[in-house]
Amino acid sequence: MTASTIRTVLFDLDGTLADTAPDLAYALNRVREEKSLPDLPFDSIRPVVSHGGMALIKHGFDMEAEHPEFNHLYRRLLDIYRENICRKTCLFPGMDELLDTIEDRGLNWGVVTNKPAWLTEPLLDALNLIERATTIVSGDTLEQRKPHPAPMHLACEQAGSQAEQCLYIGDAERDIQAGRNAHMHTLIALFGYIGKNDKPQDWKADGSVKTPLEVLEWII
C-alpha cells in the first residue's frame, strides 16, 4: 500500500473513531443496579464494548442469549445507553487532527459499524461529525453486517472510491476480516478495545497503529 492509493479512510465506531466505553459501561452498570447487583469495574467492561450490546449483557450477567431474561436486559441496556449516548463519549486523542488532515488533503472519510442506526446517528450528531462523514453504514443499513463485505462495499460506493482505494481501521478481528473480505487495506487500532485474549498479530491486517495520528503515515 502506498499513500497515493488511498482516497477514503473508513473507521469502525466504538473503540476506533470514538471512545464510547464510558457510556456503555455506565448503561450496563445501571442495568445491573436495577437488578440489585454491584457495579462492575470499568476495566473489565472496556474490552467487551467492541463486541456490542449482547456481549455486554453476557459479560454483565453471565448468561447466554437463550436465557429468558436476556432480551429484556439487552433492550434495557440499549434504552439506557440511548438516553446517555454522549455523556462521556469523546473522540480518541488525536482523532480530531486526523480527520482535519484527511479533509485538508482532499480525501474523504466515513464510518462502517455494527451499531444500529438509531444509536449511530445520534452519537455522530452529538460529536458534530454526522455532516462531515461522506458515508455512514450502520449495522442495520443492510441485511448483512461485518465481517460480511457488503457494508464495506456500500461505503465504497457512497464515498466514490474503489475498494483498493479505501483504508479501513478497526479494533476487532471482525473489522479486519470485513476489510480483507472487501479487498480494502486494513489497520488495527491498538488504542481501542483490545482484550487480553485477543491476538491482533494474527488478524492479517496491513499494519497497526497505537494512536490515531499514526494513521497519517499510511495515507500521506
Domain CATH number, residue 118: 3.40.50.1000
Proportion of the chain above pLDDT 70, given as a percent: 98
Number of domains making up the chain: 2
In angstroms, rounded to a whole number, what is the distance separating the alpha carbons of residues 92 and 212? 7
- Return the minimum-mean-pLDDT range out of 22-26, 188-192, 193-197, 200-204: 193-197
First to last CA, the chain: 11
Secondary structure of the chain as H, E, C letters: CCHHHCCEEEECCECCCEECHHHHHHHHHHHHHHCCCCCCCHHHHHHHHHHCHHHHHHHHHCCCCCCCCHHHHHHHHHHHHHHCCCCCCEECCCHHHHHHHHHHCCCEEEEECCCCHHHHHHHHHHCCCCCCCCEEECCCCCCCCCCCCHHHHHHHHHHCCCHHHEEEEECCHHHHHHHHHCCCEEEEECCCCCCCCCCHHHCCCCEEECCHHHHHHHHC
Please indicate, yes or no, whether residues 101 and 79 belong to a single structural domain of this protein.
no
Please indicate, yes or no, whether residues 143 and 50 belong to a single structural domain of this protein.
no
The length of the chain is 220
Residue 43, Cβ neighbours under 10 Å: how many?
Answer: 9
Please indicate, yes or no, whether residues 57 and 98 belong to a single structural domain of this protein.
no
Please indicate, yes or no, whether residues 7 and 114 belong to a single structural domain of this protein.
yes
Please indicate, yes or no, whether residues 53 and 123 belong to a single structural domain of this protein.
no
Cell 497505537 locates to 210
Please indicate, yes or no, whether residues 58 and 103 belong to a single structural domain of this protein.
no
* Catalytic residue numbers, as ranges: 12
Name the domain boundary from 43, 66, 83: 83
Please indicate, yes or no, whether residues 103 and 204 belong to a single structural domain of this protein.
yes
Please indicate, yes or no, whether residues 12 and 74 belong to a single structural domain of this protein.
no
- What is the per-residue pLDDT across 90-147, written as a single tens digit (0 to 9) for each? 999 999 999 999 999 999 999 999 999 999 999 999 999 999 999 999 999 999 999 9
Please indicate, yes or no, whether residues 13 and 109 belong to a single structural domain of this protein.
yes
Please indicate, yes or no, whether residues 43 and 115 belong to a single structural domain of this protein.
no
Please indicate, yes or no, whether residues 156 and 176 belong to a single structural domain of this protein.
yes
- What is the per-residue pLDDT across 49-70, written as a single tens digit (0 to 9) for each? 989 999 999 999 999 999 999 9
Please indicate, yes or no, whether residues 183 and 173 belong to a single structural domain of this protein.
yes
Query: Model pTM greater than 0.85?
Result: yes
Enclosing domain of residue 102:
3-19+90-219
CB 146 within 8 A of CB 177: yes
Residue 118, Cβ neighbours under 10 Å: how many?
Answer: 11
